A and B are shown apart, each in its own frame.
Chain A
Amino acid sequence: MIAPVIAVIAAVLAFDAFCLISLVRSRANGLPKWTWALIICASSPWGGLAYLVFGREDKVLESPELPGWTWTLGQPEPPSRPEPPGPLRDRPVLALRPVGRGPVTIEVDELTKRFGPVTALDGLSFTVRPGQVTGFLGPNGAGKTTTMRIILGLDDPTSGRALVGGHPYRGIIRPLHQVGSLLDDGALHPGRSAYAHVLSVAQSNGIGRRRVAEVFRLTGLENVADRRVKGFSLGMKQRLGIALALLGDPPVLMFDEPVNGLDPEGVRWIRQLFKSLAAEGRTVFVSSHLMSEMALTAEHLIIIGRGRLLADMPTAEFIQANARGDVLARSPRPGDLASLLAAHGATVAPEGDGGLAVSGMDAPAIAGLAARHDIPVHELTPRHASLEEAYLDITKDSVEYRAWSQAGEGTAAR
C-alpha cells in the first residue's frame, strides 16, 4: 500500500530534479518562460502556480560583453587563474577608511580579464584625473563595461588591479560617498517605486531621506517618485540611475553609456551636468561609443579597442592630431603637379576623378609652388576629416594592436 505512493512521490521528485538540472545546464536557452512554467507545473502544482505568480518579472539578462551566460555553479574555475602579482595579494580584507573628500583619481593598472578563451581586457592601464570629464571610448565589445565593472568590484580581473583614490573599491566603506555610478539603465526591480528604490540604496550607505528628495529634484523626477519603475521610459530610467549616482555627493562619478535613450533635451541636460560636476573638481568618467558626443563633453579621451589602450590624451590634442585635413587639387597637368609637390615634401594621392589629395602642405603653399613652376591649378579645396573618421581610423587599427599613448611613443603590441 505505501510502496506505490512512495514510488509516485519519488518519480515526481526525480522529475523535479530533472527539470532543475536541465534548467541549470540549459544556460539561458531560448525556451520561452511558459514552457518552464508548464514543466514545473506538471511536476508539482504548487511550484507551477508559484512560478506563474512570482516568476513574471523574471528575465534572462545577457551582458553584451560576456560570452554567453555566466553560470558558474558546479562548473570548474577557469583553468588558469594566475595568482595576482605583488600588492594585489594583500587586498584588504578589513574595510579601509573612507577615501575622503579631496580630488580622487581612478587608476587602472595592467588590467587583464579573460572569459574562458576570450580576452576582454589585455593589460589596460590608464588614470582618470579629477576636475575634468574623461571620455571612455571604444567600439562595442571593446571592454568598456568590463573595465567599469572591475573598477566597481563587481567582477574580479584575471590580473592587474583598479583603484579608486588608491583603494580597491571593495575595501571602501559606504562607497556611494566616494563613487557614484550608472552602469545600466535596466538594473531596477520593475515592481518597486522609484522612491523606494532610491531610498533603499541611500539607506545602505547611511544617506538620509532629505538627500533622496534632493536627488529627485536634481534629476527632475520629483513628480514620478511614487510611480513604479515598470512604467518608466528609458530616459526616465537613465535619470533615475543618475539620481542614484549623485546620492552620496561623491568625488568620483562613472557613467556607462549615459546618453542612450535620452531625448535631445536630456542629452543637453546631461552634458551640462557632467561639465558642472567636473567644474566642481570631481572625477567624471563617461563611456560612450560615439566620438561626436564625447568631443562635445569630454576634455580628455581614453580610447580602447579589443581591451587595449589606443589613445589617452586631451580632446583638444586629439582633435589637433587627428582632425587634420588635406587639400583637393585639380590641374590639367596632374602628373607634373604631383611630382612637383612630392618633391617638396607633400604626400600626394590621386583621386578617382583626376583630382589630387595633397596632405602635408596647405593650399597657399600649393598655389605658390604651382605658380612658380607655371602649372595651372583649377581648384584648391581644403578638406577636414571629421573626428568621427579619425576615431574610426584609430579603432580600425586596433585590429593591429597599435597603441598610442599620450607621450606619443608607440607602445607596441605585447
Chain B
Amino acid sequence: MTTTRIRQADPPCPADTAWPGLAIRARDVLSSEWTKLRSVRSTYWALLVAAVVSLAGSMLFALPARHGAHLPDPVAFSFIGWAEYPVLAVGILGVLAFTSECATGQIRTTFSAVPRRLAVLAAKTAVVGSLALVFGELLAVASFTLAQALLSRQDQGISLSHPGAPGAVLAAGVVLVVVALTGVALGAAIRHTAGAIAALPVVFYLPLALLSLPSPWNSRIDRFTLPVAAYQVVALHPATNLLAPALSMLVLIAWPAIALAAAAILITRRAA
C-alpha cells in the first residue's frame, strides 16, 4: 500500500482550538453510547421479548374476567404481570450495556477513549433509561389498551380517560426504567453476563422470600420490595396497608439508585 496521508482532512478538531465544555463532552459520550446500543442485535431481541411477554401477560390476566370473575382493580390487571414478565428481558438490556463490553474486552477501548468512567456509567444509564422509558410507555399504553379491550367485553374495562388511569399507565412505563437501570448497575458491578443475569431475579424476587418472616416483620418489609412497590404505583386502588403510591415510587427509584451508586464505586476502583 502506498503511504497515505495520515493527517486529518477535517478542520482542526475541537481539542485543538478550545477546551470542550461539559455539555459538549456529555453529548459526545451520550451519542457514542447510543450508537453502541442501536448497533447490536441483542437490543432489539430484548425489546421484542419484553413486548411479547408483557402483552401476553396482560392478556393472560385479563382473560379470567371473561369467565365472570370480578376484578378488584382493572388497571392493575393490565400490568400485574409487569413485575414478572418483562423484568428479565428489559433487565438484560441493561445488563448487556456493560457486560457485553467486559466480555469482549471492548471496555478497554471505551475506557481509554473516555477515561472518566463515571461519565461512561452515566451515559449508559441515560441512554438505556431513555430507551426503556420510551419503550415502556408505548408498551404500557399497548398493554392497557389490550387488557381493557378484553375486560370491556364483561363491562369491567375502563378507558384511558378514567380518573387515575393515565397516572397508572405512566407509572407502569417507569417500572421498566427501574428494571433496566438496575440491570445496568448489576452489569457494571458484576461484569459477567451470566452472573448479572442470574442476579436480576435475585434482586427482584429474593426480597419476596422475606414474606415468610414471622408477622409483623413480613408486612413491614414487603412494602419495600420491587414487585410490591410496582403494584402500588400501577393500581387504580392501591392497597391501603402498604406504602402510598408516591412513597412506593420513591422505593422504586431507590433500588436502581443504590445499585448504581454501588456500581459507580466499583467501576472507578477496579482495573478495566
Contact = CB atoms under 8 A, between A and B. Distances in A.
Interface string A126-163: 00000000000000000000000100111110000000
Nearest to A40: B198
Given A10-B209, A98-B19, A155-B272, A201 B111 contact: no
A170 B115 contact: yes
Nearest to B12: A101
A276 B6 CA distance: 9
B95 to A, nearest CB: 8
Q: Dominant SS at the B interface? A: helix
Contact of B113 (A44, A189, A204): A204
A7 B192 CA distance: 29
Contacts of A362: none
Contacts of A59: 103-104
Interface of B: 1, 3-4, 6-10, 13-16, 19-20, 24-25, 28-29, 31-33, 35-36, 39-42, 45-46, 49, 88-89, 92, 96, 99-101, 103-116, 189-190, 192-195, 197-202, 205-206, 208-209, 211-212, 266, 269-272
B270 A72 contact: yes
Contacts of A248: 13, 15
Contacts of A211: 8-10
Contacts of B19: 97-98, 173
A282 to B, nearest CB: 9
A261 interface: no
A249 to B, nearest CB: 4
Nearest to B4: A218
A200 B107 CA distance: 12
A interface, size bucket: 35 or more
B202 A17 contact: yes
Contact of B111 (A57, A153, A156): A153
A17 B110 contact: no
Contact of B197 (A14, A47, A183): A47
Contacts of B28: 174, 203-206
A203 B31 contact: yes
A9 B211 CA distance: 11
Interface string A36-80: 110010011011001101110111110000000010110000000
Nearest to B209: A10
Contacts of A206: 13-15, 20, 24-25, 28
Interface string A196-239: 11011111111110110010011010000000000000000000
Given A16-B201, A20-B202, A187-B105, A210 B45 contact: no
B112 A152 contact: yes
A223 to B, nearest CB: 14
A181 interface: yes
Contact of B6 (A70, A202, A280): A280
Interface string A230-270: 00000000000000101011000000000000000000010
Most buried by A among B36, B41, B190, B197: B197
Contacts of A189: 36, 40, 100-101, 104, 106
29 contacts: A3-B212, A6-B211, A7-B212, A10-B209, A14-B209, A44-B201, A51-B197, A58-B99, A72-B270, A154-B271, A155-B272, A169-B115, A170-B115, A174-B15, A174-B28, A177-B15, A187-B105, A187-B108, A188-B105, A191-B40, A192-B39, A192-B40, A204-B28, A205-B28, A206-B24, A218-B4, A248-B15, A273-B3, A277-B6
A214 B5 CA distance: 10
A337 to B, nearest CB: 54
Contacts of A172: 115
Most buried by B among A187, A196, A273: A187
A274 to B, nearest CB: 11
A372 B139 CA distance: 102
A13 interface: yes
Contacts of B40: 189, 191-192
Nearest to B196: A20
Contacts of A339: none
A208 B200 CA distance: 37
B104 A186 contact: yes
- 10 closest Cβ pairs, A-B complex: A196-B39, A204-B32, A187-B105, A177-B15, A203-B32, A200-B35, A170-B115, A10-B209, A155-B271, A249-B8
B89 A50 contact: yes
B202 A269 contact: no
Contact of B194 (A6, A23, A72, A73): A23
B37 to A, nearest CB: 9
Contact of A58 (B45, B194, B199): B194
Interface in A1-41: 3, 6-7, 9-10, 13-14, 16-17, 19-20, 23-24, 33, 36-37, 40
B261 to A, nearest CB: 15
B198 A23 contact: yes
Contacts of B32: 200-204
A187 B104 contact: yes
B150 to A, nearest CB: 24
Given A13-B209, A46-B88, A189-B106, A19 B39 contact: no
